Structure formats: C-alpha cells, structure tokens
Amino acid sequence: MADATQTARFRFWLWLIAVIGVIVPQRLRADWRQEWEAELRSRETLLAEWDKLNWKTKLDLLRRSLGAFRDALLLQPRRWEDEMFQDLRYGARMLAKNPSFTLIAVVTLALGIGANTAIFSIVKSVLIRPLPFAQPDRLMQARYRPGPGNPPDDTLGWIARRDLVDWRARSRSFERIGGYWNASLILPTEGAPEFIRGASVTHDLLPMLGVQPALGRYFLPEEGKPGGERLIIVSDDLWRSRFGADPGIIGRTIRAIDGIYVVVGVMPPGFNFPLRLEREVIRFPSRQTGFWTLSLDDLRGESDRSSYNVILRLKPGVGAEQAQAELETLFAQRVQDNPQEHDRNFAVGVRLVALKDQTVGGAGAPLMILLGAVGLVVLVVCANIPTLLLARADARRKEMAIRQSLGASRFRLVRQALTESLLLAFTGGAAGALLAAWSLKLLLTLSPHYIPRLGESRIDAVALLFTSAVTVVAGLLFGVLPAW
C-alpha cells in the first residue's frame, strides 16, 4: 500500500511537469520535460519518504519544483519569437502577395480612422479637456435672465457695472469678481494697419485665472483711473511676432491708432482669454487673444452705465446654487432700492453658468453628432472589409487544408487569420494617424473662428491612444468572422 502511495505521489509530480510544459515553446518542450523529469527522479527517494521529512526539507522540495514553472516562464520570449513573429512574417508576405486588396483595405481604414482621430482631437480639446486655468471648476460666468421685452433665449451676457460693483461689495460667496469686454488694437504699419484682437479687463480678472505673467506684472487695483496712463499686457505670440521677444519690453510704449499704451506684462505661451469668440469678432484671422488693456471704467461710480462679461470665482466649499441664490437676492434688493434704474422688461434675475459650459456654448451637440457620424463611418468600414477578407479566405481553403494536414491546429489557423487582420488594421491605423494630422490642420483652417478652443487641438498621446484603440477594435471586428 505504501509503495502504491509513493508511486501515485511521484506520478502527480510528473503530471504537474507535463501540465507546466504546455506553455513551453514546442521546439524546446521535449528537452525541457526530459531535464525536469530527470531532476524529479534524482529526488525520487525524498519524495517517496515525504511523510518522514521535516518542514524545511519539504519547503525546499516545493521551491525547487516551482522552479519548473519559473523556468517555463523564462522561455516565453522564445515562444513569441517562434510563433508570433512567424505569424507576423507570414501575414506580411500574404498581404504583399495581394497588393490590390491590401491597398484598398489600408486606404479605406486610413480614411475612417483618420477622420475619427481628427474629430476626436477637436472634441477632446473643446469639450473634454479642463479649462487651462487654476481650479477651473470654481470659475463661473454671470448672465441676466431675460425679461418679457427680450427674446426668450437662455440668458443675456452683459452685466451692468452697477451690479458688478454691488456684488463686489456685498457678496460673500466669491473670492474675486472681474469683468471684460472684447476690444481691438490697430497698429500702424508701412502698409495696411494691423488689427489685433484683445480684451479690455478689470484689474482683478487676470489674477482670478491663476496664470502668472511670464514677464512683468498684472494690473494694480489703484491703476486705471481716467486720465492716467493706458496700460497693456501683451500675449507671448504678439511679443514674439511684433517685438522680437525683446526681454526689455516692460515699460516700453506701443503707439496705436487710438493712443499710446505702456506695456506692464507679457503672458506665458499658450495663454488665451476669452476662449469663446463672439461672432462679431471673427474678422480677426487669429483665435489667439493678443493683448489685454486695463478698463478705464474699472474705478468709476455705480451710476456708470457700462457693462461687462462678468467672471466670478467661487470660494472653497460654496456651491453654484448657493452663490446664484445670493446673487438673485442682491439683484432683487438693488432693483427694489433703485427702481428708476431698472428696466423689468430687460432682465428679471441672474443666472450663474460654469465658465466651461459658457465657453463651449452651443458647440457641444454639433461636435458630438459629428463624432458619432464619423464613428458610423468606421463601422461601415468594419462591415465592408470582412466581405473582402471572406472572399480572400475562400481562395485560401486549399492552403489552410494543407497546413492543417501538416499538423497545424484549428486554433493556430484562426490565430494566423487574426494576426493578418490586425496587421492590416495597424497598417491602416498608422496611415490614418498621418492622415489625421493633415486633416486636422485643414479642419482648423475651414472651421468657424467662434468655436472655442479649436486652436488647442493637437494629435497628442491621448489621440494616438484613441487611434490605437479604434485600430485594435476594428481589426478584431472585421477579422473574427473570416478567421472563424
């Protein structure tokens, strides 16, 4: 009975070696099994006396036996070299033998994947990526709710100066409140004057965004008095293109058609605000804001009738609904205290909108529809290419039968077919990435300037990862049926 137990125990270890050997590359499997079976037989005496061994000896035997599994794993690169690379080389030869089929499939895939990648890059830039400011989720924009004397659209953008001053003094929900309006700078040149798009801002607007100037400083609260110097902060693009990246630009003057401005700062590369262009400023060829001047109305009294696009930064822990309720209360109190200054037909309340939502505006739905439509193109591609692959697979029946008769398993044949389809997909994906880079530039050139943040669109690592995912999914979709 003891001999039978010892024999069964030894057979178990031989069986375990055989199971582990499945993952060893086939051409190395016989030598590997022979080596480890010889190792087991050299320890057969110890295994036969297992019950008499102390725990240290047992642990040592188990550790040595697990070495077979580690040894099998170390041989896996040989399997990849033997099988995967062989499949890839064979697949590449088969695709090269059918250049017409390969060219049609690659071009079709490149068009679908390239269009998807380009549109995804725009959607990511406009809709997904956070605003490039400090803690952008706390930035809000105030809008009036229209009265019966205005069209029933969602909100009215301009906030009266008297409300801006009142909110600054009495609100407890916001860290800062600032405003701006669109402006232009006309610089004289030897030829036609140069028009530059910019913004006139209150002193606290740019610090609210949390982006420090690369040179110089922000506007100071005591500046901006009527009759004082007209101050300007220029963008990095304007500083480089117009002033040759002169590090001594701070304190210099810029002579424009409407007067002389003193430069107090240069913003860092890529900084852009406002991000959303109004339709009336699309005559400017650049989406980049070129300058920011200090509003001379910033320190005027409440009776001033100027208006601003108002940006507000919530205090930590304050929600948008709580802040809006406070602004509604302040608005109602001011209307009650000064009824002669308020036109109820114009506005009946205030609404807070997240700055990102206000920036995107109505561009979100069309872009998502466009991305969905282009995604359907990829699905159509994935539906058409299998037809070509099936016709090609039918012509290769004899080849597959010969390979199977020579010992190839059905799994190996299916894997070979999937390898060829994935190789085809990755070739199309690589061509699609190149096409996406070119088509994105074309889309940016042809697209309306008032769509926000288009200038930030890039074929970056995220876009390439998206392309790779689409490529793999497409390769599996159109490769499974012919392979099966």
pLDDT in tens, 122-160: 888 888 888 889 999 999 999 888 766 665 555 566 888
Query: If we measure between CA atoms, which residue out of 130, 121, 24 comes closest to residue 77?
Result: 24
Residue % of the chain over a pLDDT of 90: 15
Question: At 106, is the pLDDT very low, low, confident or very high (cuts 50, 70, 90)?
Answer: confident
Phi, psi of 439 (to 5 degrees): -70, -30
Q: Tell me the pLDDT band of 476, cut-offs 50, 70 and 90.
A: confident
Integer angstrom CA distances of residue 74 from 106, 162, 351? 37, 76, 64
Helix segments in 75-210, DSSP class H: 76-79, 85-97, 99-123, 161-170, 205-209
One-letter identity of residue 419: T
Q: Which amino acid is at 60?
A: D
Interhelix angle 26-42/2-20, rounded to 10 degrees, is: 150
Distance CA 14, CA 24 (A): 15
Q: Could you tell me the pTM of the whole model?
A: 0.67
pLDDT for residue 291: 92
**CB under 8 Å to 386, separation ≥6 — which residues?**
478, 479, 481, 482
> How would you label 37-75 residue by residue, b for 16+ Cβ within 10 Å and e otherwise?
beebeeeeeebbeeeeeeeeeeeebeeebeebeeebeee
R_g of the chain computed on alpha carbons: 35
pLDDT tens for each residue of 224-246: 666 678 899 999 999 998 888 99
φ, ψ of residue 385 in degrees (nearest 5): -65, -35
Type of residue at 481:
L
Residue type, 480: V
pLDDT band at 267 (very low <50, low <70, confident <90, very high): very high
Q: For the segment 2-52, what is each residue's pLDDT rounded down to a tens digit? A: 455 555 555 666 666 666 665 565 656 666 666 666 666 656 555 555 555
Handedness of CA 18, 22, 25, 26 (dihedral sign): positive
Greater pLDDT, 55 or 252: 252
Q: 86-104 pLDDT, tens per residue?
A: 777 777 787 788 888 888 8
Name the one residue in this structure whose structure tokens are 């036996």. Answer: 65
Tokens of 472: 């793999």
Q: Are 453 and 388 in contact (CB under 8 A)?
A: no
- Is the separation of the CB atoms in 284 and 195 below 8 Å? yes
The 10s digit of each residue's pLDDT in 282-321 is 455 556 788 999 986 654 544 455 788 899 999 999 998 9
| Cβ atoms of 116 and 375 closer than 8 Å | yes
Please tell me the predicted confidence (pLDDT) of residue 1.
46
Would you say residue 419 has pLDDT above 90? no
Convert the pLDDT of each residue in 337-386 to its tens digit. 776 665 555 677 888 988 888 888 777 777 888 788 877 877 777 777 77
- What integer pLDDT is reported at residue 278 of this predicted model? 56
Alpha carbon distance 23, 68 (integer Å): 11
Element (H, E) at 151: none
The pLDDT of residue 281? 47
Please provide the DSSP assignment of 86-123 as one string: HHHHHHHHHHHH-HHHHHHHHHHHHHHHHHHHHHHHHH
231: tokens are 């101050």
Residue 344 has a pLDDT of 57
- In 109-258, where do the E strands start and end? 139-146, 159-160, 174-187, 194-201, 215-216, 231-234, 253-256
Count CB neighbours of 268 within 10 A: 12
